[in-house]
Chains A and B, each alone.
Chain A
Amino acid sequence: MLRINVSFPSGSGETLLLPEHSKVGDLKLLAQKTFVKGFLKLITAEGDALINPEDYLQAAGIQEEECLTAVAQQANVSATVAAFAVFCCGGNQMVTWGSPDQGGDCSAVQDQLKNVVQVQATDGAFAAILADGSVIAWGNPNYGGDCSAVQDQLRNVQQIQSTRSGGFAAILADGSVVAWGHQGWCGDCSAGKRLGNVQQIQATNMAFAAILADGSVIAWGNIDHGGDCSAVQDQLRNVQQIQATNMAFAAILADGSVIAWVGTRPWW
């Protein structure tokens, strides 16, 4: 039997006993059961996280009287209309269930879903940003579940926004935007890929709006959900921030005034 000391950063801990040929996953399960606490990340004295549950403890360099630190991770749960996805930031896998056509089955990309830092959902698909800045999408292709057409462009992704209706838009480190997903219901969501110097993106249910570096705004998507801001374009100068509801956008300008738009009509 191996004796392994597992303690929390607070100092409290226990000595766990398990067979020598155990795996990292066995140790994790035993620790979680012992402490009655889920989503524990185990870290060696050298600072290496024991990520892969299939690794044998010995192969991972865990020896008798090893001292490990347990850190409680925050689990994150996202939802499409009919599926859930649960992950821990930087963890080894994604767990999904629900309708397989709406994101409930990620088995085709499970091997790639490691070190996930953010998950965004439309009504029928999920997209995950990985720690290396790439993106993996799954679910209904009509709802953005297939990003293969733009996969090459999805590098150094900082942030993803989504419309419920099926459009994703990713902001890259250089300020450009890559969009994919439903081309009909939400208008041409891909129109945003021409953009550069994007500071922030917000989404209504069917449209996107982006603040550019010069303080102007570009909107695209369904024109009845804020996808056309041309009626107020002249007023959209020095925009600091955009907020979105299901159907409308509002921009806060540097002077504190607010310009909002819905569809093609401005309102004051």
Chain B
Amino acid sequence: MAFAAILADGSVIAWGNPDWGGDCSAVQDQLRNVQQIQSAYYGAFAAILADGSVVAWGDPECAGDCSAVQDQLRNVQQIQATDMAFAAILADGSVVAWGDPECGGDCSAVQDQLRNVQQIQSTRSGAFATILADGSVVSWGHPDHGGDCSRVQCQLNNVQQIQAAHSAFAAILADGSVVAWGLPQRGGDCSTVQDQVDYL
């Protein structure tokens, strides 16, 4: 267990298990004008600085090292986490991800589609899902836990909101339908309730 807090002067203090991000001394001099901190459950932190750059620390296996994507992390607006990966939305609507590639830390396969991202959600077990400006959805990460929405892709139009359970996503569409994907027994299959949703 580890903790991190932003102090009034924009610096950061961390404590707890050093392997899990409880020691930020290695990046302490970079942690200036910190606006926001996000944590990945298994041991890493990511801080957005006032200039839109990002500083990460903690377990390098678990998103605590963002050096591979550091030069892409500019004008970061928001960071979302799974247990072992981060994804950042940039001001231009693109996305940069890092951390365990099995757990959402690699979005290269869908990078071309990640344009005009409006909203991002994540399952703790390792998948991200984004709503684009045109109402479509792009997901990546652990394919069984929500990272692969290809089974329902053709239904995912005019999506208004996405909610995440531990290993599945649910999307609400403007036409009143509900679409789910991820582990079927853990919420990833809503095929039996569509009739009921029509009467809400």
Contact = CB atoms under 8 A, between A and B. Distances in A.
Interface string B1-19: 1010100100001010000
Given A32-B198, A91-B200, A97-B189, A86 B172 contact: yes
Given A78-B163, A83-B187, A97-B190, A38 B175 contact: yes
B68 interface: no
A77 to B, nearest CB: 4
A108 to B, nearest CB: 16
Contacts of A87: 200
A80 B200 CA distance: 20
State the main secondary structure of chain A at its contact with B. mixed
A260 interface: yes
B187 A38 contact: no
A248 B178 CA distance: 35
Given A38-B174, A81-B165, A81-B186, A247 B193 contact: no
A86 B162 CA distance: 12
A224 B1 contact: yes
B161 A77 contact: yes
Given A32-B176, A36-B175, A82-B167, A97 B161 contact: no
Interface string A234-261: 0000000000001110000000001010
Interface in B175-200: 175-178, 180, 183, 185-190, 192-193, 196-200
A143 interface: no
Contacts of B196: 93, 95
A258 B9 CA distance: 13
B166 A95 contact: no
A67 to B, nearest CB: 22
A53 interface: yes
A125 interface: no
B176 A37 contact: yes
B175 A81 contact: no
B179 to A, nearest CB: 11
Nearest to A78: B163
Given A84-B187, A96-B193, A260 B5 contact: yes
A86 B124 CA distance: 20
A231 interface: no
A137 B12 CA distance: 40
Interface of A: 25, 28-29, 32, 36-40, 53, 73, 75, 77-84, 86-88, 91-93, 95-99, 104, 123, 224, 246-248, 258, 260, 262, 267
Interface of B: 1, 3, 5, 8, 13, 15, 39, 124, 160-161, 163-168, 170, 172-178, 180, 183, 185-190, 192-193, 196-200
- Give 7 closest A-B pairs by Cβ, nearest first: A38-B176, A98-B187, A82-B186, A81-B166, A77-B163, A79-B165, A53-B199
